[in-house]
């Protein structure tokens, strides 16, 4: 019998796209019977630190762990600790005991921090998680390394930058909605540098790490390999929507003032600050290379 790849978070944005692109030999984990189709799926009641993975791990050679709580104000510190940290460690321990050879963990660039100053982020940087979401991912990384060292199960940690693509949630969805609603945006004077990654590149990277030994034991900072400013990014979204977008020059200092006045400094920072990753470091670690994709808006 061919060994399986266990895919958690298979109905989420990244998991759905990964499964659509690389569905061979995948065992999908779902939490709702409606998502349980004729393909190889396994239904779990919930993702917690007590979930029993024994049957789901039968004949499984590798695990791609995508499931977890995304960054949201609706979740508490305890929620993030339970789902993103403890539940991940629970799965990894049971996977190692079941003889799984490789565990791929999708973390977040937030483990490095919320912004870059003079130098881009590198995997060797001292971690500086900036919120409960990033902290829970970082704690999971620490324990996963220990499990890997003790069991011999290969570990790959991927920290993606902001992921964009059709139906992407989170910040990209907010930017897309903003461009759809208005023809004028205030970013002309903002010349920041931010790294992003297409959902297609992220899925390609995950699949590369699954099938190559080059990434084993590595922390990979995932991006498209170039940076863009917020004005360039929103202009491209508008262009792909077939809309005319006018950018007006509002000084950076005004954005910073708004952030302080309305307690939205982190949200404003995600728009106007730099967040760059060292793409050369990734190229030196593995032979995978990103492809330049058109920004999808539908």
What's the pTM? 0.93
Looking at 106-115, 121-130, 141-150, 259-268, which range is the least confident one? 259-268
Domains of the chain, earliest start first: 4-164+196-225+276-285 (3.40.50.720), 170-192+228-272 (no CATH)
Q: Categorize the per-residue pLDDT at 148 as very low, low, confident or very high, splitting at 50, 70 and 90.
A: very high
Q: Is the pLDDT of residue 2 over 70?
A: no
Cα–Cα distance measured from residue 47 to residue 31, given in angstroms and rounded to the nearest whole number: 8
Q: What pLDDT is attached to residue 284? A: 92
pLDDT at 70: 86
Sequence-distant (6+) residues with CB within 8 A of 286 are 208, 209, 212, 214, 215, 218, 220
For residue 292, the model assigns a pLDDT of 86
Give the range among 83-97, 223-237, 283-297 with minimum mean pLDDT. Answer: 283-297
Distance separating alpha carbons of residues 102 and 217, to the nearest angstrom: 10
Burial class (CB in 10 A: 0-12, 13-18, 19+), 199: buried
- Per-residue pLDDT at 37: 58
Is 80 an annotated catalytic residue? no
Residue 82, helix vs strand vs coil? helix
Judged against a pLDDT cut of 50, whether residue 54 lies above it is answered with yes
Q: Over the stretch 160-175, which tens digit does the pLDDT of each residue have?
A: 999 999 888 888 888 8
Cβ partners under 8 Å of residue 237, min gap 6: 175, 176, 179, 295, 297
CA–CA gap between residue 66 and residue 80 (Å, rounded): 14
- Angle 199-211/13-21 helices, nearest 10 degrees? 60
Strand partners, 28: 7, 41
Separation between Cα atoms, residue 236 and residue 276, nearest integer Å = 19
Catalytic residue among 85, 133, 138, 164: 133
Statement: residue 225 has pLDDT above 90: yes
pLDDT exceeds cutoff 90 at 24: no
The whole-angstrom separation of Cα 138 and Cα 85 is 8
pLDDT at residue 33, as a whole number: 64
The pLDDT > 90 percentage for the chain reads 76
The reported pLDDT for the residue numbered 140 is 98
Asked if residue 161 lies in contact with residue 110, where contact means CB atoms within 8 angstroms, the answer is no
Q: Report the pLDDT value the prediction gives residue 9, as an integer from 0 to 100.
A: 94
- Over residues 263-268, the mean pLDDT reads 84
d(CA 120, CA 114): 12
pLDDT of residue 1: 47
Instruction: Tell me how far the alpha carbon of residue 253 is from its chain's centroid.
Output: 30
């Amino acid at each position: 019998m061919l060994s399986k790849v266990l895919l958690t978070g298979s109905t989420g944005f990244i998991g759905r796209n990964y499964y659509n692109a690389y569905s061979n030999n995948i065992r999908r984990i779902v939490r709702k019977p409606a998502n349980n189709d004729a393909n190889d799926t396994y239904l779990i009641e919930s993702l917690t630190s007590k979930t029993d993975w024994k049957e789901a791990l039968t004949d499984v050679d590798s695990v791609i762990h995508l499931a977890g709580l995304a960054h949201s104000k609706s979740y508490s510190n305890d929620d993030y600790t339970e789902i993103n940290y403890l539940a991940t460690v629970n799965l990894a321990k049971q996977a190692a005991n079941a003889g799984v050879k490789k565990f791929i963990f999708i973390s977040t660039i937030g483990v490095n921090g919320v912004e870059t100053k003079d130098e881009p982020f590198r995997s060797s940087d001292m971690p500086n998680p900036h919120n409960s979401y990033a902290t829970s991912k970082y704690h999971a990384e620490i324990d996963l390394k220990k499990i890997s060292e003790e069991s011999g199960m290969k570990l790959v940690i991927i920290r993606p930058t902001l992921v964009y693509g059709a139906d992407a949630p989170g910040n990209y969805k907010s930017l897309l909605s903003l461009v759809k609603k208005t023809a004028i945006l205030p970013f002309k004077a903002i010349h920041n540098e931010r790294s992003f990654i297409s959902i297609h590149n992220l899925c390609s990277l995950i699949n590369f790490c699954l099938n190559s030994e080059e990434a084993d034991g590595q922390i990979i900072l995932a991006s498209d390999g170039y940076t863009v400013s917020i004005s360039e990014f929103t202009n491209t979204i508008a262009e792909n929507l077939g809309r005319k977008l006018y950018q007006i020059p509002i000084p950076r200092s005004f954005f910073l003032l708004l952030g302080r006045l309305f307690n939205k400094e982190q949200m404003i920072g995600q728009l106007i600050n730099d967040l760059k990753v060292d793409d050369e470091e990734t190229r030196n670690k593995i032979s995978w290379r990103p492809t330049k994709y058109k920004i999808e808006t539908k």
